Amino acid sequence: MNQQHQDERVRIREAMDRLLTGQATASNGSLTVVALAAEADVHRMALLKRHVDLKNEFYERVRAETHQVPEAEKRLRDTVTKLKKTITNQRAEIEELRQQVTRLTLASAVLAQQSDDQSRREPVPDNVVPFPRPTS
């Protein structure tokens, strides 16, 4: 590891300690990667690309030392809950549409049968009005 990389790691660990003790100096003090990056004065992508192990360590320490669920995990859990609800609603809608297709298919068959029955009838003179057939 080069010296710059090593310095970043030291700053990140020091920033972790400050955030977890509630003594933030350069960030808003929230327990997020964004706040950790601001507190350590490193780019957020450095945590997400070069120092993934430190990011994971930070979240593990958040859970262990503060007994809190990290914000990113809370957002993911909320998203999963919303998606599950959406899936349930879509399944119900699909089932309703399937039933509607069945009903429309049956209605179409009945109309086709009625049309076929009417075409088989004898021609009616122009001055006669046929009564509709009673339905049972």
Digit-coded pLDDT (tens) for 14-34: 999 998 888 888 888 888 888
Is residue 1 predicted with pLDDT exceeding 70?
A: no
Mean pLDDT of the region 94-118? 90
Above pLDDT 70, what percent of the chain?
A: 93
Position 47 pLDDT exceeds 80: yes
User: DSSP states of 105-122 as a string?
Assistant: HHHHHHHHHHHHHHHHSP
Handedness of CA 76, 64, 1, 32 (dihedral sign): positive
The 10 Å CB-count burial string (b at 16+, else e) for 59-90 is beebeeeeeeebbeeeeeeeeeeeeeeeeeee
pLDDT for 103: 95
Mean pLDDT of all residues in 6-21: 90
Is residue 53 scored above 70 in pLDDT? yes
Is residue 123 pLDDT above 70, yes or no? no
Closest-CA residue to 42 (of 57, 60, 54, 59): 54
The more confident residue out of 73 and 37 is 37
Higher pLDDT, 99 or 1: 99
pTM: 0.53
The domain segmentation of the chain, as residue ranges, is 3-68, 72-117
